[in-house]
Amino acid sequence: MDELPIGRRVAYWRSRRKMSQQVFADRLGKSKSWVDKVERGVRRLDKFSVLYEIADILQIDVQLLHGKDPERRTDALNCIDQVEVEEIRTALERYDSMSAYFDAAPYPPPLDDMRKAVNHAWLTYQYGRYGMLTRALPKLLRDAQAADAVYGGDDQRREAAHLLGQVYQIASSVLRKLGECNLAWLAADRSMAVAQRADDPLLAGIATTRVCNALVAMGRPRPALELNVRIADRLAPGGDNDADPRRLSVYGMLLLQGAMAAARIGDSATVDDLLSGAGEAAVLLGGDHNHYWTSFGPTNLELHRAAAAVELGDGGRAVETHQRMNGHAFNALLPERRAHHLLDLARAYSQIGDVGNAGDMLLQGDRLAPSEIRCRPIAHELMSEVLRRTRGAPPPPIAELAEHMGVGV
């Protein structure tokens, strides 16, 4: 496999750290011309002391400057590294609304621009492009926080809060997938508070699912189950609540996430009860929709039915659920949902001892949304299991994917 020249690797990481050649040169104590020659390969980097200094400034392991193409590593384009985690953390720690109470508020983008940026971020998430999203999140968080702090008038204030609530939810969702559970919980918790200012019970409802997902990821499934069910009861159609498609979608997702929390506890009776309630909502909805970015409907219900079976340790039932699924409806779902399901299905096959099909599901998921497979800790654990249980050398596609993921063969 061809390797990138070391100068190209320096340029890649400098660009990823958002440093100009001049800034990088100043921190290194060199000239801009020196940096340019290194990156173009005109000047060689043959002193270890300089390499270590470069790695320190770029906040990377020096082996990345010597090793393989960074695009083929877990901390490259498709994933997130600790510098980006800290940038998101810093953005989450801002309190623009309180600062604006005492001082001049920051100047936010127009709400129309914010709305487009938030919609784009949702689509980036639902297409499984997590690396692209995590690099955009710090600025999006700052802009949304500034908008929430500044815009006056009831309508603008509510819309700014609504947009910020969505950005927090996006951040929570992607951080949870990448294993940053504490930050995911913080962002989700913020989204619930902001949803109240937006005066939108449905936004608060879907924010609840983000909080509960983070709690489950942190090993707290019981409070997650209780919270999901409590808020679902408040939003259930009937009485003063209409059966609007948006309400049905949010209500259905609360029940589905409650079922996942119950499965983590091992409470199969509650799982069946909540899935049954979600099924009734899906029938009323009449198809798969993406209201409030939920992707809720009959197909997503089946995906959660299979995922709950996996959590309960019943891989055979999960496989049977998949085999009964409407293939056309499944293929119509957005890439993140499908790749997530393929990862669940890989776990199911592993549970029943079929490591060949488990590996095949990982390969299919990787072709569909690489970040869902290459960047998630649970996928890394599963790939290690597949490699360990494979007799002899793994098939070349599996070995190649494992290398991409940074999992040792």
Alpha carbon distance 66, 4 (integer Å)? 9
Q: Which two tokens stand for residue 173?
A: 């969702």
pLDDT over threshold 90, residue 140: yes
pLDDT classification of 71: cutoffs 50, 70, 90: very low
Nearest of 120, 127, 177, 173 to residue 144 by alpha carbon: 120
Enumerate domains of the chain plus CATH numbers.
6-71 (1.10.260.40)
Long-range contacts of 310-313 (CB under 8 A, 24+ apart): 310/344, 310/347, 310/348, 310/351, 311/260, 311/263, 311/264, 312/263, 312/266, 312/268, 312/271, 313/351
pLDDT over threshold 80, residue 100: no
- The reply to whether the predicted model has a pTM over 0.85 is no
Alpha carbon distance 167, 175 (integer Å)? 12
What percentage of the chain reaches a pLDDT higher than 90? 67
pLDDT over threshold 60, residue 74: no
Query: 241: which strand partners?
Result: 238
Alpha carbon distance 398, 379 (integer Å)? 13
Alpha carbon distance 115, 391 (integer Å)? 52
Query: Diameter of the chain by CA atoms?
Result: 75
pLDDT classification of 106: cutoffs 50, 70, 90: low
pLDDT, one tens digit per residue, over 297-348 is: 999 999 999 999 999 999 999 999 999 999 999 999 999 999 999 999 999 9
